[in-house]
Chains A and B, each alone.
Chain A
Amino acid sequence: MRVTVRLFARLRDLAGTGELIREVPPHATARQVWDDLVLEWPGLREYEKTMSVAVNAEYARMTAEVHDGDEVAFMPPVSGGWAG
């Protein structure tokens, strides 16, 4: 099955793309999708402890199972709002 991966901000810069399609085995979790990305772009590992994940634009856990056609987003620490 296939999922769409979205990467934002510095994660996108590290991977050189903000959106990609990945083949994943049945019952794969967000964790497996991430680990697969890290194999390809080891620089992403830096975000292992600090990134957030969303499945179909809802915050999720790394243990969440993904399904065919899902959109899985990985996000670095956020910096919206205002600096003060």
Chain B
Amino acid sequence: MSVPQVAVTSERLDSEALVALVNANGDGAVVTFAGLVRDHNQGRQVQFLEYEAYEPLATRALQRIVDEAHELWPGARVAVHHRLGRLEIGEASIVIAAASAHRADAFAACRYTIERVKQIVPIWKREHFDGGDIWLEGATADPDDEAAREKAYRTACA
């Protein structure tokens, strides 16, 4: 079964499959990032997280991000999968793989991708902690917000 470049899925994430996908041409550098569920957040003891998405738009937004990354770093190829549903402490909510002939581009493309995911992908998490649960909310999603895009780029290149 072929691995898609972008996906939102309730299956456990497999970073090695993403590495194999982006590294098809034998480039010199592959950077991977995995975001894991932390056991604490803002002083709360986290029990587990629940992720939900507007799936068709989330998939499109992820595709837009990898296209943006390819535009910014033409030699880089990026793949990103985001998990949905109930995630336990230590499980990966997102994995990103970025390949390039040079490490600087691979690192930058990977960092850019996670920053943009947090900005424009319609995915939400509900944190279940000792004593209750709460929806966490970050950025107002607006893919045309150039200032947000610029901020992600600056962070990626810092």
Q: Do A and B bind?
A: yes
| Chain A residues within 8 Å of B, Cβ to Cβ | 6, 8-10, 13, 50-52, 54, 57-59, 73, 75-84
Residues of B within 8 A of A (CB): 35-36, 38, 41, 51-54, 56-58, 60, 82, 93-94, 114, 117-126, 135-144
**Interface of chain B, helix or strand or loop or mixed?**
mixed
B10 shortest CB reach to chain A, Å: 14
Given contacts A57-B57, A57-B60, contact A78 B135 (CB under 8 A): no
With A8-B52, A9-B135 known as contacts, the answer to whether A78 contacts B142 (CB < 8 A) is no
In angstroms, Cα B33 to Cα A84, docked, is 12
Offer 10 A-B interface pairs, CB within 8 angstroms, sorted by A: A6-B54, A52-B142, A75-B122, A78-B118, A78-B138, A79-B136, A80-B94, A81-B93, A81-B94, A83-B38
**A77 (CB) vs chain B CBs: closest residue:** B137
Question: Which A residues are CB-close (under 8 A) to B138?
Answer: 77-79
Whether A77 and B140, one on each chain, are in contact in the complex, defined by CB atoms closer than 8 angstroms, is yes
Residues of A within 8 A of B140 (CB): 50-52, 77-78
A59 touches B57 (CB 8 A): yes
Contact partner of A80 among B60, B118, B144, CB < 8 A?
B118
Q: Determine the distance from Cα of A82 to Cα of B34 in the docked complex, in whole angstroms.
A: 9
